[in-house]
A and B are shown apart, each in its own frame.
Chain A
Amino acid sequence: MAEILFEKVQKRFKETVVIRDLNLIINDGEFFTFVGPSGCGKSTLLNMIAGLESVTEGNIYFNGAIVNDLTPGERDVAMVFQSYALYPHMTVFDNIAFPLRMKKIDRVNIEGEVNRVAQALGLSDMLHRKPKELSGGQRQRVALGRAIIRNPRVFLMDEPLSNLDARLRVDMRGELKRLHRELRITTVYVTHDQSEAMSLSDRIAVLDNGEMQQCGTPFEIYMKPSNTFVAGFIGSPLMNFIPAVVRGFTPVEVDCNGILLSPFVDRPPERENVIAGIRPEDVIITSKEGGNAIAVTVSIIEPAGSFNWVVCNWNNLMIKGNSIAGEDLGPGDSAFMRLAHSKIILFDQLTGKRI
């Protein structure tokens, strides 16, 4: 069990800054995910926790003790790689037993432990097989077994589910959540898939270009994204971003594509030009008129089962919303759009920060 503290951590490769001034606490026993697009530095961060990459500046603490100079073995962390990195020439048994053998634990104990872990992961009949004889999901579980057997202080996972097919990925997500609930080991997870991050984590940190954009629970990040990057990265389909102009400052009133809105804000806007963000889930498209409905023309319909995603043309601005599957709407039809005003978020157009 370990609490991980990042203090002014920076990572440079030659002259390029890869991680910028990170200050963060990962709580003991938490499932914490670093999420972001390719190249944002999340894997580098994971490697720095593991000790596979050095820290250029700043410190990393495990439970208050600096670990910067410790070897990976000394840090007592376990890691599951994207490609599983199983030892191809060893059997499943030997793969799982390897960390214990490195600790020079005696053979009888090793056998007992391996069998226990294999049982927990459903690998008991495969102990004598080699990795190349196993399916993707089975290899994944061997990698997990090799990590679990050491009872590490921290679990590190680098996109472990990326190589699995969609169905298996969802199954394994449940498996990972179950394991975490049982073992309660601090887990640091890295993925580029935001839905995976949302469903698995206690807390998420969104990274872009080595800088942490926001850190919080899935709910916080989804509901109150701190800038347009986070808002655009989390949630699928993408949030609608509509340029708007501030007409009144107290209370805040914006002119958004011809209509006046009064969204909730946390602070006064600094500039006139803002961006109004609203998620497609909060934009309703129907054929019924009435109320504050806005006239739009349907452009594209994407069926999604019991409802449709509908892209509409609103005075030459494209906006995505949803409609009930029963609604008989087709491309080119006139329709009406209702915005859930409480869900509108304002962002400063220049800085991208939420207002």
Chain B
Amino acid sequence: MIKKAWFYISLILVVGYCLSPLLWQFITSLKPDPELTRLPPVLPQTPAISHYTAIFKGHPFLRIILNSAFVASSTTVFSIIVGSLAAFGFAKLRISYKAVILGIILSVSMFPPIATVSPLYIIIRALGMRDTWWALIITYTTFSLPLSIWILTNFFREIPDEIFLAAKVDGASSFSIFYRIMLPLAAPGIFTAAILVFIFSWNEFLFALTFTSTEASRTIPVGIALFPGLHEVPWGDIAAATIVVTIPLILLVLVFQRRIIEGITAGAVKG
């Protein structure tokens, strides 16, 4: 009995550890400005949604959210398309030095972003693509490829080879097999990869910071980091922005926690 109580206490501590900063941020976002600088009391005396309206009014926050949404969705689509094609090749078809090429692709995920930022910046500036969605989409798609290829190759490998062989005997071309058979059967894997790629590109900061300069293409992480304040830091507004931005991610995690965990542990743990 004591053991069980101990367990539940620890569980509560863990939950508290994970959620309390967010909780505090939420409370902060409901405190009107004057109350922010008074501590105690911890809880808001007169809770208000003034901060929430503020971030959308005098501030192109909606545009920033839109930018992130568009960039993340496009990245996900492209990354999955390019990634699944490559994964199919690695999983089922013949390629010389397959293991070496796959290893090189995976090693790209170990590159420090700061190492590629300067040449990419020069290239993007030269192409006149500064402050566009496409600069980010192409960059994110490429850097997310190791992740999607890794997850999708594992899923494709699990599809029995005999199904692939049967389709070949039935006269299907490699692409037909990919499109009609492999993709439908690997759907859960595609879903998992998509979620992880989406989260990755939604949260990316360094490239977004360097490649964007105005709200035309600025994404959420940059918007939050460079949150404008006239004289002092607008903690209330920032808190509201934080909560607004975090909610979709919390929903994503709550609904898809099993898939996300599957994706993160894919291949890392030999089952």
Contact = CB atoms under 8 A, between A and B. Distances in A.
Main secondary structure of the interface of A (DSSP, over half): loop
Given A81-B162, A89-B185, A98 B167 contact: yes
A72 B171 CA distance: 7
Given A83-B160, A83-B162, A85-B163, A77 B170 contact: no
A96 to B, nearest CB: 10
A182 to B, nearest CB: 22
B181 interface: yes
A156 B166 CA distance: 11
Contact of A146 (B170, B173, B181): B170
Contacts, number: 59
B94 to A, nearest CB: 11
B171 A99 contact: yes
A18 interface: no
Contacts of B59: none
A166 interface: no
Given A73-B170, A102-B171, A85 B165 contact: yes
Please tell me the size bucket of the interface on A. 20 to 34
A98 B185 CA distance: 16
A71 interface: yes
Q: Which 5 A-B pairs have the closest CB atoms?
A: A73-B171, A85-B166, A85-B162, A102-B171, A99-B170
11 contacts: A52-B168, A72-B168, A73-B170, A73-B173, A77-B169, A85-B160, A86-B166, A87-B167, A88-B185, A98-B167, A99-B170
Interface in B160-201: 160, 162-163, 165-173, 176, 181, 184-185
A103 B169 contact: no
A150 B184 CA distance: 24
B170 A102 contact: yes
A70 B213 CA distance: 57
Main secondary structure of the interface of B (DSSP, over half): helix
A222 B165 CA distance: 35
Please tell me the size bucket of the interface on B. 10 to 19
Given A79-B166, A81-B162, A81-B165, A89 B184 contact: yes
Interface centre among A85, A88, A89 (most CB of B within 10 A): A85
Contacts of B170: 73, 78, 98-99, 102, 146, 150
Given A85-B162, A85-B163, A72 B181 contact: no
Given A81-B166, A87-B181, A103 B160 contact: no
Given A83-B160, A102-B176, A72 B169 contact: yes
Nearest to A104: B171
A20 B166 CA distance: 26
Nearest to A75: B169
